[in-house]
Amino acid sequence: MTVGLNHYLAVSGLLFCIGLAGVLFRRNLLVVYMCIEMMLAAASLALVAFSRFRGDLDGQVLALLVISVAAAEVAVGLALIVAVCRRGLKPTADELAGMKL
Amino acid sequence: MPAIEQLVWGILLLPLISAAGITLFGLRRPRLAGVLSVGAAAGVAVLSLLVFTGTPFGEWWECSAEWLSVGELNVPVALRFDPLSLTMGLIVAWVSFVIHVYSLGYMRGDRGFGRYFAGLSLFLFSMLLIVLAGNLLVLFIGWELVGVSSYLLIGFWYQRPAAADASKKAFLLNRLGDFGFLVGLLLVWSKTGTVDISELECKLALDPGLLGSLATAAGLLIFCGVLGKSAQFPLHVWLPDAMEGPTPVSALIHAATMVAAGVYLLCRVFFLLALPGSAALELIAWVGAFTALLAAVIATQQDDIKRILAYSTLSQLGYMVMAVGASSVSQPPVAAMYHLSTHACFKALLFLGAGSVICAVHHEQNIWRMGALGKKMPVTFVTFLIAALALAGVPPLSGFFSKESILASVLESNVAARHALFAVAVAVAALTGFYMTRLVAVTFFGPERTQIAGQARESGMILTIPLLILAVPSAFAGFWGIDSAYASQFKGAAVEHAGVFGRIAAAFTHSPVATLWGLGAAIVGIVTGLAVYWNAATDRLPEKLGLVAGWARNRFYFDELYAALNEATHEFLSRLADGVDRWVISGIMVRGVHGSIELAGRLLRLTQTGNIQIHAVLLGAGIAILLLIVLRH
Amino acid sequence: MSGFSAIGLELAVVVGALAILMIGVCVSSERRSFLSYVAALFVGLVLLSSFLVSWPEKQAFFEGTYLVDGLALFFKRLFLVAAGFVLVMASGSSRETAIGVEFPVLVLIALAGMMFAASAGGFILLFVALELVTVTFYVLVAFARNTRRSLEAGVKFLIIGAVTSAFLVLGMAFVYGATGTMNFDELRVAPIDVGNKQLFDIGLVLVFVGVGFKLAAVPSQIWAPDVYEGAPAPVGAFLASGSKAVGLVLIVRVMNSTMLQGETLWAVLLAVSAVASILYGALCAIPQKDLKRLLGYSSIVTAGYLLIGLASGSEAGIGASLYYMTAYTFAALAVFTVVSIVFGASEPAEIVGLAGLYKRSPLLAVALTLSMISLAGIPPLAGFFGKFLLVKSAVGSAGLKTGLVVLIGVMVVGILISIYYYFGVIRAVYWVAPSKDGKSIIVTRSERVALIMLMVGLVWLGLFPGRLIRASSGAVGSIAPSRQAIAEVVKHDGERR
Amino acid sequence: MRVFVALVLQRPVSGSGTLKSKESAVNIGSSIEPVVFAVFAVLTLVAGFLVVANPISRNPVTSAMFLVLTILSVAGLFVLLGAFFLAAVQVLVYAGAVIVLFLFVVMVWGGDGVERGKLRKFAMVVGGASLAVFLTLLGGALTGAGQDTKVGLTEGGARSLGELLINRHLLAFELMALMLLAAVIGSVFLGRKDNK
Amino acid sequence: MDPLTIIIAAPLAAAGLVAVIPGNYRFLIRVIALLATLLSAAVAIWVFAEFEPGASGLQFETRSVWVKSLGIGYHVGLDGVNVGLVLMGALVAFAAACVSREIAERVKEYYVLLLLMAGGILGAFLSWDMFGFYFFHELALVPTFLMIGIWGRGDDRVYATYQITLYLSFGALLVLVGLIAVYVQCGANTFDMVELHRHVAQTPIPAAAQRWMFPLLMFGFGVLVSLWPFHSWAPTGYAAAPTGVAMLHAGVIKKFGLLGLIRVALPLLPEGAREWIPVMGVLAVGNLLYGGWVAMRQSDLNRLLGYSSVAHMGFAFLGLASLTVLGVTGAVVVMIAHGFLAGLNFALSGYLRRVAGTTQMDRMGGLLDKVPFIGALLVMAMLAGCGVPGFANFVGELLVLFGAWEANKTWVVVAAWAGLVVGAVYTLRAVRTILHGPLRTELATVADPAGAWHRSAYALLVVALLLFGVVPGLLIARIEPDAKAVSGTIATGIEMKAAGEVGSIVRGAVAAAGVGVRQ
């Protein structure tokens, strides 16, 4: 048996869905954020897999940039969550529901 | 005849100018208003005489001015001068003039003096428009305007609820008739392509089948207009109420001229009614007969002097309409016009006399509160008596001749049930004699029933002179050949009678059976009246007649019936439409759409819970749905 | 033109940002508010200079990753205009946004990101530029970090933004996988095998979702109301103008480069999203009481209108969207300026609080009214012409695609509902008498000038739209010839087969 | 790491691995690859699952630790795909920096370990349904994608990627820098204490 | 400057001028407003007099490019149809400015908006460019909203304002879509109506397209004219509107939709018209009879007038639906006459409201004693409203009835019933309750505030009504050639069908639309 594109993509897809499930079902925003990172990783995996099997390095470049962007996002995002916590709020979905309807 | 052509426009314009002038400048200046209006009426009277005499006997001519012309519809203001319109115009002009003068006295000091004369002038204009119109649409305009001026004058004392209501009622019932008239016009126009009377006559003469199967319908629709204006059954109920207007108005409009316009119209379009294959005339005859009988019965049990006269008018109009209906091409409706003319004089006289009486007894109108006025008001009494006798058909007064000719024409008509019609006509003649006797006996003879009656005095010159003027034609019109003037209108029907005596004798020689019956009926009526009401203190008849009298007294409950009918149909539909508008259109449709959109908004925004997780879920669901939709295509 | 002169405008903005950062560090915090003015002036200069340079009709740089064409230029100017007004708005002395040096710097960085995005020639630059804007906006939305609302808005923006960028990456990966390229020009002509078709389709949808986040189009519209409500007014203005326009230009670019393979897909996708956006935004906006939140919903509706222009698929349609975007930018900037003056940058903007504005400050009242009328699409203001062009393009294409009939119907409904709630604002301004404590409002000179410029813009665009129509159709035209070229390529392709 | 990779791919350690080489296309067919793939794949998915739904602990710290594992396994898959540089970056940036950051924040601010609030039924149902849709659609699309794809192999080493980055994707690369600057400014601004 | 541009620009420029005058110079503001509308009216009278009936082409024509790429231009000109409308519009606008003296607060804003409205609608009447036509009309929307909202009256004010605004916007949007469809389908790349007419004469719009475009325009314009059953904004809105707005709106602005039907829908889409005319006829009869019946039950004078204006519009629709020279001419006459009449009616009702403090009819009574002049005018207005000869309305209604007779006899009979009988019932009821009867005690002390200047506005409108009623040739000579052109574009021989067939037409169209959408 050879490991083909399908297999990588399957992993990527499943991981993406797992991450999405986390986003949908976890209330702690930190965990949610982690799950988003997982989704990004899954997407990167798909990119790399395509890059490999299509014979083009652009995919990997994008994956690289995705990782960096994710890092920058995490920095800002966590700073934001810190700022939230500073105000005595818990970083959970239910706590941050002041504006609605 | 160029000179006359210039003059005829004056006939129309003088009252119009007067009406406009009074409206603009004369509402607060009674003298100006009076001068203008009476001046105009006098001018019209003179002009109409000039035109009458200026037109050779039995000939006709037209003049017209551009007014409205679009596509196939061409409506000039066409004036037609033929024996019918000339004679009718003459009567209208002169009776009007007399009543104008009378009004000067009757209305003196009223706050609305100017307004009154403006209305009167407007009426004169519109009436003349009807009479002279050579075009059915122009006639219709006059027809409508007559209704308007009648509305304005009946409601002259608008502060009185009764007057205000009466004016409304009169206008609406007239409108009902006009509706039919207009539809009739549309029908005629669409079939023949013209509304010009001469043209129409020519076309129908060339091709009598032009209207086809619609001939009866067209005739009856036009007759609808007559029903309204001449207050024929079933639209008769407005006329008695119209007596809420000032008495001269009742005399002029609701006795002499406007209500007669219906009969005039019937004669005007007689060629159309008498088309072969049209059954219109027979129905018209019966409507007239029924109205005549009904009104006469009601008149016997009314106590208001003006209302008695009003019902009497109704009855006489029914008589005329019946006469038209009983006519045919071979026997044209000369009798109807003849009676119309004489009736205009003596009925106007009766009303003016009644006005004089009412003035004398301080606006008391119930005859049972009068009595013994004959001695105190000799002029009024004598003239009134002449008119009453004329109405009752006592020879040799004018009413005798005209009524005789109606009876004769009914008896000799082609209508299938002419004997029944004749019987009705005779009965009405008897009833006429009866209620007129009742009126005269109770008002002018007998005891002074109230103090006011005792203090009554003869009215002033300005009121009595018109009475005297009108008394002349009332008494002697039968000797002049008015009927021959009309007869010349309908060619081939002219019967020439030589001299005054020939004319008197003609009534007997022409159709002795009818004359004798009529005369007998009148005598029976008068004698019975005298027997019952001579020196009577109260009305003894109701006890004897019981239910019939009660019905008659209550006008056979037509008003109540109509009110209920209106409530059940038109008002009901209106209420229904209003309900639909309020609940269905404004409610369900407009507010419903508005409300459901607002509700949708309020529901939809519940998705915005503010909870990030729900947001994420909705985002995920949104993407999923989008994917599903897009990929399915 | 060399690559570096091609990115001259962006470079200038970045340099400006760095310079202001440097100056800001050296200046005491009390005197920093002038930095925004400086930044605004600088942006204005860049805008002016963009008119002085003669740009090539269409040219690609950096191996095709960076495009200079009319479309890019059109949007860059729009971004510059928006940023300029936002900076003026932020400079009011009493506002949080005026205190730190960070605000102007971040706005300029975001601006640079937007400008790069407008020129993106492939997915890679698109992604990075887009994320640059997004990350900057995370900070900007939460800029009033002392208020809970602003922070909450920031977190919401962050989470939803991050999730949609994950979708975006996945989508790009799929498109890449299906075609083997990330460059727009190559994408255009890339053949797709049958087996990859679904991959490609899903990829496009996910890319649309990711880019649609900026546009606030369904399904990634969910953040808009909360974020508009919580973000400081100048940030809201920038979201409604610059950020939204980025979404528009990127969708246009992606759509333009994949039209050949995915014509029906785009038609359905855009139509569905447009209909849903319009109905959702319009319906939810009806009961709103907060003006900023109302604008959040109305921004969703606007996204729907913009998508209708794209959905009609014609050049005229895209041009109409550009026109409408411009009109919307002016109106939104004016509204947010008024909001920030009347309510302060990060306070709630209760519509009730506008009562008697006509008396407290006629200028603000007129400005607000004009922008509301423009948003509602009523002559003689810019918004009317925008909607007119949109309807025209949709009706024009309706003969081809009957599904557009539904779009037109929905648009009519949307406009009607929006008239209802926009007029509610006008009602608050004029009908209701001021409350007792309604003092007159002080408007600084720069704000006055900005408002007057915006109003003149609104009226001018409504009365004399010819210039902007030419500009927008020129912008669209600059990407159109390539579409024709593709068609020819495809034809050749077909002949060969 | 390098050794491990070489072991798996049966390739000389010294190779820079930046070229699209035909040999590697031949080499990859070795029998050990499926096993390694299976290990990493299962590890990725299981660890990923445990991040989301750990039956034992709901503590964010645990989630973070499993996230590290997931990231590492993905890096392993990267290696299998020949993206060596990327794998390294993934390990360094994620496992080295991001997770530390997470842990730091979790420890200081969010570490009480309790999931606050309750999961709504609505979210469960709708979220579950959408997940199911995604799974089906992605499954369909992805399995379709691989079947008639001709395998042209590419390896991504530091040099080849670096060359691409400073040539073709220079702008993106520079923008990254700008983004990091913005992120720094932003984080500092948001994270610092109120300067009242 | 050409005269037509002066007619449009005078109010608009005055609006701009008033906007910059400080609000406390009330007298100056009023004078400017009056002078501007007077100037418009004077020029309108002049061009009406100078207009050469039956001459081919437009007169006093001016055109210039507006947006070249879209084929939009500023194109104003007079033909027989709009020359009368402009005269009417300018006179009513002047009268509205005159009676607006009753406004006491926020005078400046009021006049700015009023002038904007007047200029807008005059511009719409004069425009021969579809875009300008629509554009100018829409200028009135915001002023309507603000004026009813700020200076309106009644508890229902807010609801009424929103209803009228949204309803009119709805109609306007349908119209917009329809107009654009015309533009697109013609393919002439111009909004200029003259050129479109020319273009369509050679290459007609495909019949299939006409079939769905016509109802769009018909209902769009119909909503703007309160076509049944889309009428409910009219009574509610007019009941709440301040006098000037009600006059302008009911009298003038409402005629826009009818003009649109005459200018765009009928001549450009003859096939569609052929298909849909019967529906319009049915709805017109709905307007007449239903509007009249509902009017019978109103207790508020303004609502009564509102419903009566709904009913009157039925005549105009019926005339247009007949597609005969007579009918179309009659419809235009009805438009003009009703403009004067509605202006007069609402002016009078505003006056009575000031006197009696209410528009509830049963709370008035016997007022003729107190306000003889206004009362007399009201009687005249009411009589004109129920189609009494002498007033212009009679001529119009007569022509419509004669024109429509061949097309469908039943409807004409119903229309005549509605006009002659139902109309008389509610107008006379109004006169009876308001003016006649004994004076109500609580009104015994009210004063008649009319001054000579104030009266002139009312008199002006009555004089116009009477003038065109007595000398209808003034209008008809101008209208007829163009009416002939309109009815001539659609080949003769159309018969309005019975209600059952109308249902089948609608069903067919819906089915066709459904098929189209599915494709």
Q: What distance in Å separates residue E105's CA from the closest CA in chain B?
A: 32
Which tokens in the block code for residue E36? Answer: 């501007």
* pLDDT tens, position by position, E437-480: 888 888 877 777 666 667 888 889 999 999 999 999 888 888 88
Which SS3 state, helix, strand or coil, does residue B135 take?
strand
* B616:C283 CB<8 A: no
Which SS3 state, helix, strand or coil, does residue E360 take?
strand
* pLDDT mean for each 10 residues of chain B (633 residues): 72 89 85 89 90 81 85 85 87 90 85 88 92 90 92 90 90 91 91 86 84 86 90 86 87 85 90 84 90 89 87 91 86 85 89 87 83 83 90 84 86 82 90 90 82 79 86 81 71 56 67 84 89 79 75 79 85 88 85 87 84 89 91 80
Residue B409's nearest CA partner among B417, B418, B400 is B418
Cβ pairs bridging B and E (under 8 Å): 135
Question: Cβ contacts (< 8 Å) between A48 and chain D: which residues?
Answer: 77-78, 81, 83, 86, 156
* pLDDT tens, position by position, C76-103: 999 999 999 999 988 875 666 666 788 8
The pLDDT of residue C186:
87
* A49:D139 CB<8 A: no
Cβ pairs bridging A and D (under 8 Å): 263
Question: Cβ contacts (< 8 Å) between B596 and chain C: which residues?
Answer: none
Is residue D175 less than 8 Å (CB to CB) from chain C?
A: yes
Is pLDDT larger for residue C226 or for residue E507? C226
Q: What value does the mean pLDDT take over residues C389-403?
A: 77
Which tokens in the block code for residue D171? Answer: 């702008």
Environment class of E506 (CB within 10 Å of its CB; exposed 0-12, middle 13-18, buried 19+): middle
b/e code B126-163 from CB counts within 10 Å (16+ = b): bbbbbbbbbbbbbbbbbbbbbbbbbbbbbbbbbeeeeb
- E12, pLDDT greater than 90: yes
Cα–Cα distance for residue pair D121/E321, rounded to 1 Å: 59
Q: Are B351 and B242 in contact (CB under 8 A)?
A: no
Q: What value does the mean pLDDT take over residues A62-89?
A: 89
Is residue B217 less than 8 Å (CB to CB) from chain E?
A: no
* Cα nearest neighbour of C316 on chain E: E70
b/e code E464-489 from CB counts within 10 Å (16+ = b): bbbebbbebbbbbbbbbbbbbbbbeb
Q: Are B31 and B117 in contact (CB under 8 A)?
A: no
CA count, 13 A, side-chain hemisphere, E248: 32
Is residue C452 very low, low, confident or very high in pLDDT (cuts 50, 70, 90)? very high
Is residue A39 less than 8 Å (CB to CB) from chain B?
A: no
Q: What are the C-alpha distances in Å from B497 to residues B55, B338, B395, B506, C488? A: 21, 15, 17, 7, 109
Is pLDDT larger for residue D193 or for residue C451? C451
* pLDDT tens, position by position, E147-164: 998 888 888 888 889 989
Is residue A94 less than 8 Å (CB to CB) from chain B?
A: yes
Q: Is residue C428 part of a domain?
A: yes
Number of H helices, E strands in chain D: 9, 0
Alpha helices in E323-444 (DSSP H): 325-356, 372-385, 392-405, 409-416, 423-434
* C198:D147 CB<8 A: no
Q: Are E141 and E245 in contact (CB under 8 A)?
A: no
Cα–Cα distance for residue pair E383/E376, rounded to 1 Å: 11
Q: Is residue C60 part of a domain?
A: no
Q: What distance in Å separates residue C386's CA from the closest CA in chain D?
A: 34
Task: Kindly report the pTM of this predicted structure.
Answer: 0.91
Q: Which helix (H) or strand (E) holds E60?
A: strand E59-67
Is residue C161 very low, low, confident or very high in pLDDT (cuts 50, 70, 90)? very high
DSSP letters for B549-573: HHHHHTGGGHHHHHHHHHHHTHHHH
* B624:D123 CB<8 A: no
Q: Which chains touch D (3 or more CB pairs under 8 A)?
A: A, B, C
Looking at mean pLDDT, say which of B250-259, B596-605, C259-268, E27-36 comes out highest: E27-36
- C106, pLDDT greater than 60: yes
Which tokens in the block code for residue C196? Answer: 């990859």
Query: Which of D133, D134, D135 to mutate: most B Cβ within 10 Å?
Result: D133
- E502, pLDDT greater than 80: no
Is residue E411 less than 8 Å (CB to CB) from chain B?
A: no
* A72:D180 CB<8 A: yes
- C180, pLDDT greater than 80: yes
Cα–Cα distance for residue pair E231/E233, rounded to 1 Å: 6
Task: Determine the Cα angle at E35 with ends E34 and E38, to 5°.
Answer: 85
Q: Which of residues 553-612 of B touch A (CB under 8 A)?
A: 605-606, 608-612
Q: What value does the mean pLDDT take over residues C337-360?
A: 86
Question: Cβ contacts (< 8 Å) between A8 and chain D: which residues?
Answer: 77, 81
Contacts of B577 (CB under 8 A, 6+ apart): E289, E290, E293, E294, E297
- C485, pLDDT greater than 80: no
Which SS3 state, helix, strand or coil, does residue E100 take?
helix
Question: Cβ contacts (< 8 Å) between B618 and chain D: which residues?
Answer: 126
Question: Cβ contacts (< 8 Å) between C128 and chain D: which residues?
Answer: 172, 175-176, 179
DSSP letters for B21-33: HIIIIITT-HHHH
* D172:A65 CB<8 A: yes
Question: Cβ contacts (< 8 Å) between A20 and chain B: which residues?
Answer: 620
Residue B30 amino acid letter: P
Is residue B613 less than 8 Å (CB to CB) from chain A?
A: yes
- A94, pLDDT greater than 80: no
Which SS3 state, helix, strand or coil, does residue E375 take?
helix
Q: Are D82 and D17 in contact (CB under 8 A)?
A: yes
The pLDDT of residue D19:
40
**Domain covering D28-111 in this structure, CATH number:** 1.20.120.1200
What dihedral angle (degrees, nearest 10) is formed by the CA atoms of C321, C324, C325, C330? 170
Query: Which of A25, A32, A84, A94 to mutate: most B Cβ within 10 Å?
Result: A94
- D173, pLDDT greater than 70: yes
The pLDDT of residue D11:
46
Q: What distance in Å separates residue D182's CA from the closest CA in chain B?
A: 25
Q: Are C52 and C212 in contact (CB under 8 A)?
A: no
- D20, pLDDT greater than 50: no
Query: Which of C222, C258, C278, C293 to mutate: most B Cβ within 10 Å?
Result: C222
Question: Cβ contacts (< 8 Å) between A93 and chain B: which residues?
Answer: 611-614
Q: What distance in Å separates residue B582's CA from the closest CA in chain C?
A: 23
Q: Which chains touch E (3 or more CB pairs under 8 A)?
A: B, C
Per-domain residue ranges for chain D? 28-111, 157-196
Residue % of chain E over a pLDDT of 70:
93
Q: What distance in Å separates residue A80's CA from the closest CA in chain B?
A: 15
- C19, pLDDT greater than 90: yes
Of A7, A44, A61, the CB nearest to D161: A61
Sign of the CA dihedral running C94, C100, C101, C102: negative
Q: What distance in Å separates residue C268's CA from the closest CA in chain B?
A: 6
Question: Cβ contacts (< 8 Å) between B605 and chain A: which residues?
Answer: 101
* pLDDT tens, position by position, D51-61: 888 777 778 88
* pLDDT tens, position by position, E70-105: 889 999 999 888 999 999 999 999 999 988 888 888
* B605:A101 CB<8 A: yes
Sign of the CA dihedral running B129, B134, B137, B140: positive
CA count, 13 A, side-chain hemisphere, B57: 9
Residue B346's nearest CA partner among B470, B526, B522, B478 is B470
Is residue B613 less than 8 Å (CB to CB) from chain D?
A: yes
Q: Are D111 and D184 in contact (CB under 8 A)?
A: no
Q: Is residue C321 part of a domain?
A: yes
Question: Cβ contacts (< 8 Å) between B186 and chain E: which residues?
Answer: 401-402, 405, 409, 412, 416
Q: Is residue C455 part of a domain?
A: yes
Residue E421's nearest CA partner among E268, E507, E293, E514 is E293
Cα–Cα distance for residue pair C471/C323, rounded to 1 Å: 9
Q: Which chains touch A (3 or more CB pairs under 8 A)?
A: B, C, D
Residue C112's nearest CA partner among C27, C210, C17, C252 is C17
Task: Determine the Cα angle at E256 with ends E252 and E262, to 5°.
Answer: 130
Task: Determine the Cα angle at E315 with ends E311 and E316, to 5°.
Answer: 110
CA count, 13 A, side-chain hemisphere, E277: 29
- C437, pLDDT greater than 80: no
Domain encompassing residue C396: 145-496
* pLDDT tens, position by position, C405-421: 888 899 999 999 999 99
- Any idea which of C45-54, E201-210, E217-226, E425-434 has the lowest mean pLDDT? E201-210
The pLDDT of residue B607:
81
The pLDDT of residue E85:
93
Mean model confidence pLDDT for chain D: 76
Of C155, C163, C172, the CB nearest to A80: C155
Q: What value does the mean pLDDT take over residues D105-114?
A: 67
Q: What are the C-alpha distances in Å from C468 to residues B132, C325, C393, D5? A: 70, 11, 16, 59
Cα–Cα distance for residue pair E150/E114, rounded to 1 Å: 13
ipTM of the complex, rounded to two decimals:
0.89
Residue % of chain D over a pLDDT of 70:
70
Q: What distance in Å separates residue E307's CA from the closest CA in chain C?
A: 25
* Cα nearest neighbour of C461 on chain E: E67
CATH classification number, A5-97, choose in 3.30.465.10, 3.40.50.720, 3.90.870.10, 1.10.287.3510: 1.10.287.3510
Question: Cβ contacts (< 8 Å) between B616 and chain A: which residues?
Answer: 23-24, 32
Is residue E158 less than 8 Å (CB to CB) from chain B?
A: no
Q: Is residue C216 part of a domain?
A: yes
Which tokens in the block code for residue D187? Answer: 């984080």
Question: Cβ contacts (< 8 Å) between B613 and chain D: which residues?
Answer: 120, 123
Mean model confidence pLDDT for chain C: 88
Do chains E and B touch, with touching meaning 3 or more CB–CB pairs less than 8 Å apart? yes
The pLDDT of residue C285:
92
Cα–Cα distance for residue pair B262/B265, rounded to 1 Å: 5
Per-domain residue ranges for chain A? 5-97
For chain A, how many residues are written?
Answer: 101
- C261, pLDDT greater than 90: no
The DSSP symbol for E154 reads: S
